[in-house]
Amino acid sequence: MTILPPKPGDPNASQDVRDRVLQVAARLVAEGGRAALTTRAVVAAAGIQQPTLYRLFGDKTGLLEAVAEAGLASYVADKASAEPDPDPLLDFRMGWDSHVGFGLAHPALFAIIWGNPDPARVSPAANAGRVALRRKVQALAVAGLLRVSETKAERLTHATCTGVVLALLDMPDDDRDIELASITREAVIQAITFAAPATATPGPAGAAIALRASLAHTTGLTPGERLLLAELLDRISEQA
C-alpha cells in the first residue's frame, strides 16, 4: 500500500529507479535552478528514500553531474544520430548552433556545467561536449582550413561559445540578441580558418556608427532632427 514502487521483483528495477530519479531531478533543475535540486525534494518526487539516493549517486554532486550528463546526452543524441556534414565548415557552424541551442533550452544545466570552472573536478558532461568539438575542429584541420593549431582553435571556440551562451542567458528571455551567437560564430571562423568572410563589409555602416556615437556633440540640429537622424543611423548600422 505504498505509493508506487513499480515492481519489487523487477530485475532491472535499479536502472528504472535511477532513470526516474534523473528525470525528476532534471525537472526540478529546469524549473527552479540548481537551488531547487535538494535531496529531499528529489526523494519526495521520485518516491524513494534518502539512503537510496545516496546509494545510486554517492552524494549530491554525483547526482548533479549525472543530471548534467543525462541532459547533455539526450540533447546530442538527436543531433549526433546523423553523421557529420561533409562540409567541415558547415558542420562546425551546426555544432556551434547546436551548443547554443542546448544552452538556451537548458539554462540552469548550462550554467552548472560551464559557468562554474573548477580545474580539479573533471565533469563528464563537459568532456563529452569537448570531444564533439574536437572532432569538428579536426575535420577543419584535415581539410586544410585551419590557420591556427587545433588546440588553439578548440579552446578559442569553446571559450567564446560558452561566453556567448552565458551572455544570452543573462538577457531577459523575451529580448535575447540571438544574432550575437551567429556574429561571434563568424568572427571565430574568421580567426581560426582561411575561409572567406560570409558577408562583405559594407561601406556606409562604419561611418553611420561613428556619426551615431558623436551625435551628442553635433550642433545646428533641432531635437526632432537629431532624434530622426539617430533612428536613420541606427537602421543603417544594423545593415552591417
50 binds DNA (CB under 7 A): yes
Nearer to its own copies, 9 or 220 (CB): 220
Give me 78's grid cell: 538527436
Which of 36-44, 105-113, 163-171, 191-199 is the region at the interface with DNA (rule: CB under 7 A)? 36-44
3-state secondary structure (DSSP) of residue 220: coil
CB 110 within 8 A of CB 125: no
**What is d(CA 84, CA 81) in angstroms, rounded to the nearest whole number?**
9
Q: Which of the choices DNA, its own copies, none does residue 207 contact, using the CB cut-off of 5 to 8 A by kind?
A: its own copies
Q: Which of the choices DNA, its own copies, none does residue 55 contact, using the CB cut-off of 5 to 8 A by kind?
A: DNA
Residues in Cβ contact with 25 at an 8 Å cutoff, skipping those fewer than 6 apart:
37, 42, 46, 63, 66, 67
User: Shortest approach of DNA to residue 37 CB, angstroms?
Assistant: 6
Q: Which of the choices DNA, its own copies, none does residue 48 contact, using the CB cut-off of 5 to 8 A by kind?
A: DNA
Residues in Cβ contact with 27 at an 8 Å cutoff, skipping those fewer than 6 apart:
45
Q: Which of the choices its own copies, DNA, none does residue 39 contact, using the CB cut-off of 5 to 8 A by kind?
A: DNA
Q: Which of the choices its own copies, DNA, none does residue 51 contact, using the CB cut-off of 5 to 8 A by kind?
A: DNA
**What is d(CA 125, CA 36) in angstroms, rounded to the nearest whole number?**
20
Nearer to DNA, 41 or 156 (CB): 41
> How many Å separate Cα 45 from the centre of its chain?
28
Which of 33-41, 69-77, 103-111, 181-189 is the region at the interface with DNA (rule: CB under 7 A)? 33-41
48 binds DNA (CB under 7 A): yes
- Integer CA distances (angstroms), 94 to 7, 47, 49, 85, in order: 43, 40, 42, 9
| Interface with DNA in residues 124-163 (CB under 7 A) | none
Q: Which of 135, 240, 153 is nearest to 195 (CA)?
A: 153
Interface mask toward its own copies for 151-190; x: CB under 8 A: xx--xx-xxxxxxx-xxxxxxxx---x-xx--xx-xxx-x
Binding site for DNA (CB under 7 A): 2, 5, 8-9, 11, 13-14, 17, 37-41, 48-52, 54-55, 59-61
